[in-house]
Structure 1
Amino acid sequence: MEQPAPTEAPQAMAATAGETSPENPWPLKHFAQILKQHIERAPETWIEGQLLEANVRNGHAYLTMRDVDVENSLSVTVWRSTLSRLEAKPEVGSRVVARVKPNLWLKTGRLSMNASDVRPVGLGDLLARLERLRQALGEEGLFDPELKRALPLLPERIGLITGRDSDAEKDVLRNATLRWPGVEFEVRNTAVQGVNAVAEVMAALAELDADPRVDVIVIARGGGALEDLLPFSSEELVRAVAAASTPVVSAIGHEADRPILDDVADLRASTPTDAAKRIVPDVAEERLGIEQARRRLDRSVEQLVARESERIAALRSRPVLAAPDSMIRERAEDIERLAVRSDAAAQAAVNRADAEISHLRARVRTLSPQHTLDRGYAIVQVSADGAREASAPVARDASDLAAGDQLLIRLARGSLDASVTGTHASNSNPR
């Protein structure tokens, strides 16, 4: 008898999601149960958001919470037992914090949050949170005065970020144009409250900051409740303003309003109108200033000319300028006196030298042989062999002569020849 063919054993279910395949998939029920187990292992978490919907049916509240800055929302369920314990019932538009735990409804595969507590965010809580953020950013140095850039004296083009057809936009444009008619604006209309405000303002800021024609950027908004101004205390927006290369002016709300944007901006204006007054000069004031400066300049020039004229007059009245030739005459007289003194000194020196020469001449003449001859003395020379005056020896001693010697006798005037007839010895010493 023919044996039946053996049947294939059933394939075992994949142990993990990574082991599944088209031939061995997980049943949807199994996957949903595992997913539910994973989701429900998440701990309870406090979250914050704004209520878009708040429907109460059969004692249960079905809420839709949206993030305050971006378009992210979650469904939150508040069961009757929890709702009955809440001090304030949830209202659409209110800002709340809720303690939630994720839950997956297997029948529809819908993810929701089961809330065990829902509390409205009070004004004090918001202020305290903003103050903590302000302190944290300040400790990072984002508000350092040295980082703030000076506004240009006269910007050619102003970037304006504000709400469409808002009073803030009209105030800035009107007042700035009145102060400086030639001012130009690059306007970007954005949401200034709600969940889209931060993203739109940051996008407009990045666009204007990248435009080289824009010299200064104004972020303006009119007054409002604290919740309406919260986008301008967003950490993301504050950091974007700190990173901008173009000077930023914050003009949010009224004088009493103080979003964190005011601290990081290069200039804080109390109102949009105040911003218009501070970003451009007043043409009337500038013209008045120019006129006053011209008058001061004219006065200074006139005073300078008057002082110099007085100095010139004083100089002209001095004797040296009243009679300038007097100085020449005085110098000429000095020169004449010095010339006379020089001549006298030279003449005296010549006279002294002449007298000295005469004295020396007299002394020389006294010592000369001719002077002795003039006194009656004679020079006796032995004239041997007819020798004449130049070579004949002088007779000094009678004993050296003998009778018959020829003599040449030189007198004061002329000479004569003689011969010795006799000699006489003398015992006396002429000395």
Structure 2
Amino acid sequence: MTSPAGRVPAGPNGVAGQPAAGANGRSTALPEKAADTTAEHPWPVRTLSMKIAGYVEKMSPLWVEGQVVQLNRRPGSPTCYLTLRDTDVDMSLSIVVPATTLDAMPTPVSEGGRVVVHAKPVFWTKRGTLHLDARQVRQVGVGELLARLEQLKGVLRAEGLFDRDRKRPLPFLPRRVGLICGRASAAERDVVENARRRWPTVDFEIREVAVQGPSAVTEVSEALRALDLDRSVDVIVIARGGGSFEDLLAFSNESLVRAVAVAVTPVVSAIGHDVDTPLLDFVADVRASTPTDAAKLIVPDLEEQRSGLQATVARGRRCVAQRLGHERQLLDSLCSRPVLAEPTTMVTTRREELDRLTQRARQRVLARIHREQDRVAHLRTQVLALSPQQTLERGYAVVQHADGRVVMDRADVDVEELLRVRVARGDFAVRPVTERAPSGGAGSRSRRTARR
């Protein structure tokens, strides 16, 4: 094979830009930057390792905090090896520390302890690994941890995660109880046995996880999310027995507390004893002083419920009996009244009253008829007395013209006019005739000739 044109053999150290021997002995030139590498112009592994070592070497010494999860210290060896893990997530780094540094510490470092390390990052090119070269190690004191927890508590309270109005009530009788506890722990036995002693048919979905140490936060959080997604789980209990302040630090972790805050299923915190108050107690929906107390909170007592039910049934029976007795007395009182003792009394009384009213109405109608008859007779007498017929009966007559007009004035009568005279019993015609008196007489006299 022939090397690509323009490549210069690199030196034995393999640094980019220096000559390097090709497969056929011809020299090639390596790219100066990682962005300039291609499939035809790659970096050797040694070049990349030395580049990374160069970048890491430029880093300044720094302070880093974590939890010791592994400590290897061989007798007689001047060097010890630690594995430092993040307190929140599953990430760790290897640390090389002189044995004299650990011996100079006031309190020996043990696995699970939280420390602050002053170290310089170092990249080992032979194995391609990164570790920290520790220069000073300090244990995180309880006072400092308490101060951090108080600060975190203030932040969470300001965000409203401790508010009472956001806490959800527990179901009266859950279909299934999710339990997060340690592996084969006393807390698990306390919760399960006491809960089943109170309600024998209670169903548990148990997640056994690490409740202490570097993996506790991750495992508890993952178990919480899995149970929260299970729709058959109505309540979740996070239980752990008592322990030291450092042992319970995992349940004051911010990521775990926030995971509980966003859970949809109600969460019961049963961590340690009554005096132990991790931050999980403040954000959980219900706090139990002990795992045994949690069992009393999540399920009702069967005997207590049975006694309450029996008392309620007995009270209901007494109330029904009292109500029936009262209604029976009221019914007897109603039946003893005359109207119900003799039901026909109501009809008889109404019939007599109806007869009286009918008789009174008949009498009033007859009296009114008699009065009106007398009034009609009186009016008839008046009409008869004032009628023209009565006038004619008294000897008067009515004189009319031929067209029916009544003669009202003598001047209206013509000579020889045929007039009609109406008397009481018939009528007849007359004609007026005028006669002159004899000469020499004192006056004249009129004479009328009547014809029947």
TM-score bucket of the superposed structures, by smaller chain: 0.7 to 0.9
Paired with 1:234 and 1:294, the residues of 2 have a C-alpha distance of 49
In structure 2, distance between residues paired with 1:92 and 1:323? 101
Aligned to 1:64: 82
1:341 corresponds, among 357, 360, 363, to 360
Match of 1:133 among 136, 147, 152: 152
Deviations 1:399-425 (A, max 9, x none): 5445xx76x6xxxxxxxxxxxxxxxxx
Is the partner of 2:171 in helix, strand or coil? coil
SS in 2 for 1:393: strand
Alignment-mate amino acid for residue 428 of structure 2: A
2:248 aligned residue (226, 229, 246): 229
Are residue 49 (structure 1) and residue 66 (structure 2) matched? yes
**2:280 paired residue number:** 261
| Secondary structure, counterpart of 2:117 in structure 1 | strand
Distance 2:83 2:286 in 1: 36
Looking at structure 1, the residues matched to 58 and 124 of structure 2 have their Cα atoms a distance apart, in angstroms, of 15
**Residue 322 to residue 93, structure 1, CA distance change in 2 (3 Å):** closer
> What amino acid is the match of 1:46?
W
So what's the TM-score if we normalise by structure 1?
Answer: 0.75
Matches within 5 A, 1:313-328: 313-328=332-347
- Whole-angstrom distance in 1 between the partners of 2:233 and 2:343: 69
- Among 110, 117, 132, the residue aligned to 1:113: 132
Q: Tell me which of 417, 429, 437 is aligned to 1:393.
A: 429
Which residue is 1:3 aligned to? none
Q: Could you tell me how far apart the structure 1 residues matched to 2:115 and 2:429 are?
A: 163
Gaps of 5+ in 1: 1-7, 409-431
Aligned residues: 392
Equivalent residue, structure 1, for 2:403: none
Contact 1:71 1:195 in 2 (8 A): no
1:138 Cα deviation from its structure 2 partner: 2.8
| 1:367-419 deviation line (CA, Å, top 9, x unaligned) | 678878988x699x9xx9xxx985523799995445xx76x6xxxxxxxxxxx
Q: 1:61, 1:83 within 8 Å by CA — same for their partners in 2?
A: no
Q: For 2:391 and 2:166, how far apart are their aligned partners in 1? A: 122
Asked whether 1:297 is paired with 2:316, we answer: yes
3-state DSSP class of the match of 2:223? helix
Match for 1:173 among 192, 195, 198? 192
* Structure 1 Cα separation of the partners of residues 339 and 306 of structure 2: 50
Q: Note the C-alpha offset of 1:156.
A: 1.7
- Match of 2:80, SS state, is strand
Q: Cα 1:317–1:115, aligned 2, differ >3 Å: closer, same or farther?
A: same
1:44 is displaced (CA, Å) by: 2.9
Pair 1:198-2:198 in alignment: no
Instruction: Provide Cα deviations, 1:329-363, integer angstroms capped at 9, x if missing partner.
Output: 44444433433332332222222233233334444
Q: CA deviation at 1:260?
A: 1.9
How far, CA to CA, are the matches of 2:232 and 2:133 in structure 1?
53
Residue 290 of structure 1 deviates from its aligned partner by 1.0
* Among 95, 104, 108, the residue aligned to 1:75: 95
Residue pair 1:163, 1:221 contacting (<8 A) in 2 also: yes
Counterpart of 1:207 in structure 2: which amino acid? A
Distance 2:7 2:277 in 1: 75
Measure, in 1, the Cα distance between the counterparts of 2:369 and 2:111.
135
Shift of 1:300: 1.7
- The DSSP-based 3-state class of the residue aligned with 1:392 is strand
Aligned to 1:102: 121
- Asked if the contact 1:54/1:61 (under 8 Å) is kept, the reply is no
Asked if the contact 2:102–2:109 (Cα under 8 Å) also holds between the matched residues in 1, the reply is no
Query: Could you tell me the TM-score, scaled by structure 2's length?
Result: 0.72
Q: What are the Cα deviations for residues 50-104 of structure 1, in whole angstroms up to 9, with x where unaligned?
A: 3432648889553404214536232132485x66875445455533212222234
Which runs of 5 or more residues in structure 2 are unaligned? 1-5, 10-16, 19-30, 400-417, 434-444
Shift of 1:317: 4.2
Aligned to 2:141: 122
